Amino acid sequence: MGGGRAMGPESILRDVTLRDGLQLTGKVLPVERKVDIVRQLLAVGVPALEIGSMARPDLVPPMANTMELIAALSPEELQRCWVWVATPRHVDKAAAAGVRNFQYCFSASDAHNKANIGRSTEDSVAAMPDAVRLAREAGGEIQLCLATSFTCPFDGPVAPERVLAIANDPRTEGASDIVIADTLGQAHPTQVSELISAVRERTPHRRIVFHGHDTWGMGVANTLAALQAGATMVDGSLGGLGGCPFAPGASGNTSTEDILFATRPTWFTPPVLATLVTLTESLLADLNEPNRSRTAEGTRSKASAFEWVAPTPGTA
């Protein structure tokens, strides 16, 4: 049902609504609502979620109840969930709460790392071995996540060799995955393909994750380019919600619905899309945020002969 090109058996969509999606809104969703979103997404088949951050709640208020959310989820649910961390202390605290999947994030550019995390990129690299050790002691996995892999809001273009140098630094070796993030959404498909290909060739033992933003309208195109170049996990957010509060110009993740409609994993069917769109519309209405998903817009169209169309409940 649905047809189209599949992501492939090794490709995984990770929905990041509850972390990167919410962090720019300035609003704290109740824990119960977050738990409901987690369970709805897992129930329809979304393989992986990013559910929160260990960032200071005074700096990123929507993440203030991340620990309560972690406590409300079962170990089985947490096996499919990732949490953003930036220091070994974050890993230690999250692990004690039951987290087993850690996304250790810092920026390829110094200026953004200082704005986002309050330290130099070198300081973040230097601390990573301790973060890896703590994650392993907890029986978990840790990702190396490189924000501003293409451009920095303060320093401009980031050289690919800068990203490759960090990826191949012995101090980052313990990461099972490497996340290449287009934080500002300014990259284009050729850039994405070239960098993902270079990372794959230079660090072949790691899974490659692509995290794209749609600020300049290239989110889906860049995601497809990343998959074709060797990425096997890609990030999206319901309705394209999100952005980085410490990166001027970074607004809107690539829409989860748009990525799924373009890639058609086997679990993604018209009823699943209808469920996701209804969930998105309810969430964005509560947050007073726009829906940036073109797929969601299409779903509510009047082209009723197309199996993916699902009119707004009560209007059919």
Q: Give, in order, the Cα–Cα distances in Å from 102 to each of 16, 29, 157, 183, 185.
A: 13, 22, 28, 19, 23
Q: Dmax of the chain from CA atoms? A: 58
Helix, strand or coil, per DSSP, at residue 101? strand
**Is 244 labeled as catalytic in the residue annotation?**
yes
CB 180 within 8 A of CB 149: yes
Of these residues, 81, 145, 152, 244, which one is catalytic? 244
Helices (H), the chain: 31-44, 66-72, 75-78, 88-97, 110-116, 121-137, 160-167, 189-202, 219-229, 256-263, 270-287, 294-299
Which of 273, 218, 221 shows the shortest CA–CA distance to 1? 273
**Catalytic positions, written as ranges:** 244
